[in-house]
Amino acid sequence: MKALHTLALLVGVAILVGGCTSSMQAEGNRAADAANLASGDGQIQGSSPGLEQDGFAVMDFRAVRDEYNMVAVLGEVRNVGPAAMGVELQATLRDTAGRVVAVGHFYPASYRSIVPGESWPFAHSFGRQDDAARAEIRIVGAFRTMDLRGVASNLP
């Protein structure tokens, strides 16, 4: 059952009691894509792609809240750079006064490289977050990964 709920969040068909909208915010050299979690009709109201850094672009981003006040952020990141890389994202939840209520770091493709032009979905669950009013996503950075699948067979 939990796997089905996670799958529903990934494809954006989870039962919602709060919709979201997003806007762009700039923090010097970094940008944050923010989503407002509002109680209402349970529909996702929209999202604004455009966050790009370190060879990656967030193509889609939204926050969802289910009937148990569980909050998750989900979306899609694309490698727009010239090399296969991994990416680290940070999602932050804030209350109505702008105070941080939760922060999560995650790696959409785990420790796998995303090749240039490839998109990868992401979802990060924060659990129950009664005070969350806004979600932000940030690209922390890109990193090179090493494919270890064939390494053991090449060892003496």
Using 50 as the pLDDT threshold, list the residues of the chain that sit under it: 1-34, 38-48, 153-155
According to the model, what pLDDT value does residue 9 have? 34
Query: Mind listing the pLDDT tens digit for each residue in 23-35?
Result: 323 233 333 334 5
Judge residue 145's burial from the number of C-beta atoms within 10 Å of its C-beta, 0-12 exposed, 13-18 middle, 19 or more buried: middle
| Residue ranges covered by each domain of the chain | 2-146
According to the model, what pLDDT value does residue 150 have? 54
CATH of span 2-146:
2.60.40.3230
According to the model, what pLDDT value does residue 139 have? 96
Sequence-ordered strand ranges (E) for the chain: 18-27, 30-39, 51-53, 56-65, 70-79, 86-94, 100-106, 119-128, 134-143
According to the model, what pLDDT value does residue 147 have? 61
